[in-house]
Chains A and B, each alone.
Chain A
């Protein structure tokens, strides 16, 4: 029971009237008086009674009205601890490379036939940079041909913005749903390093594609882009 006018919560008059007089669950339910003006003190006392009867909505503890629920607080504490562990686990996975550079993400592929290599990341983030580092074997280029091709599917490139390619390709052309980058190579060079600096444009998708080199080396690219 409320002990005085000041111990009763401040609530909207309209809401009070509706609850204490019109609501059949109210301890002072009075349909005949519904909408009638009664003193704010009576209204407030009735509301306090009404709330206290509803388990857990308001507790009177040694004279103070308080919305306290110890069991809820204990459960909430357990959930918070669980949440903290989840955050810690997430950070560990991030450090391991689940969302970018790291053990889980960094991939180095080698073509078994040509011995060429490609380095990239499996997990990347939206708008963050991603590199394709190709160590191409140019000794297999046709005799007298000082150009070397690397091609990527257009459907793969649609998900990225190419910020730069090192060295710059001599020619870039589109053929059969693939983008072909043609590089000039110095005579007698057996190895060529090519770096594609890209940035992911789309998010929440799994992007796949096959990089084909002129030397017939093939690399299957697979990235997951986080938001």
Chain B
């Protein structure tokens, strides 16, 4: 029971430290990376015990840990600590350079999101681009005159 909790918290820490954008852009390489991580974690979680009891204990422990964390996230402080906050990265068509650098995002990521969601062609057509807590970039286009 301790093992899945430790692994859960370790993964939480690793993904928090690596930043929001680590796993949002799923390129083929990221897919492979995810598979390797899941395989490694599986080895550490189940050890040599392949029984159904072990699987049940493991799944229940992980789900209960997740539920507990979601309860803890009711506290704004803890929620921010675990998930961070949203961040405006483009304002009135102008990218905010220091925020982009901090979050390891470049303008191509933003214009790609703008193209995908609103069919925009240029960055100056964006009123706001927001880096959400889940790492996605949401676009609010300029109002058409």
A positions within 8 Å CB-CB of B: 56-57, 61-62, 64, 66-70, 72-74, 76-77, 79-80, 83-84, 87, 127, 227
Contact = CB atoms under 8 A, between A and B. Distances in A.
Contacts of A68: 85-88
A23 B16 CA distance: 34
A66 B86 contact: yes
Contacts of A79: 17
A47 to B, nearest CB: 15
A84 B17 contact: yes
Nearest to B6: A227
13 contacts: A68-B85, A68-B88, A69-B80, A72-B80, A72-B85, A73-B85, A73-B87, A73-B102, A74-B102, A76-B84, A79-B17, A80-B16, A83-B16
Contacts of A69: 80, 85
Contacts of B19: 80
Given A61-B88, A68-B87, A127-B47, A83 B13 contact: yes
A74 B102 CA distance: 8
B102 A66 contact: no
B140 A77 contact: no
Given A67-B85, A84-B18, 20 more contacts: A62-B91, A64-B130, A64-B140, A66-B86, A66-B130, A67-B133, A68-B86, A69-B80, A73-B87, A73-B99, A73-B102, A76-B84, A77-B103, A80-B17, A80-B19, A83-B17, A87-B14, A87-B17, A127-B47, A227-B6
Interface residues of B, number: 23
Contacts of B86: 66-68
Contacts of B91: 62
| Nearest 9 interchain pairs by C-beta | A83-B17, A77-B102, A69-B85, A66-B86, A68-B86, A80-B17, A67-B86, A67-B85, A73-B87
A83 B15 CA distance: 11
B135 to A, nearest CB: 13
B70 to A, nearest CB: 15
A220 to B, nearest CB: 31
Contacts of A80: 16-19
Contacts of B16: 80, 83
A66 B138 CA distance: 12
Contacts of B128: 62, 64
Interface in B84-103: 84-88, 91, 99, 102-103
B7 to A, nearest CB: 11
Contacts of B102: 73-74, 77
Nearest to B79: A67
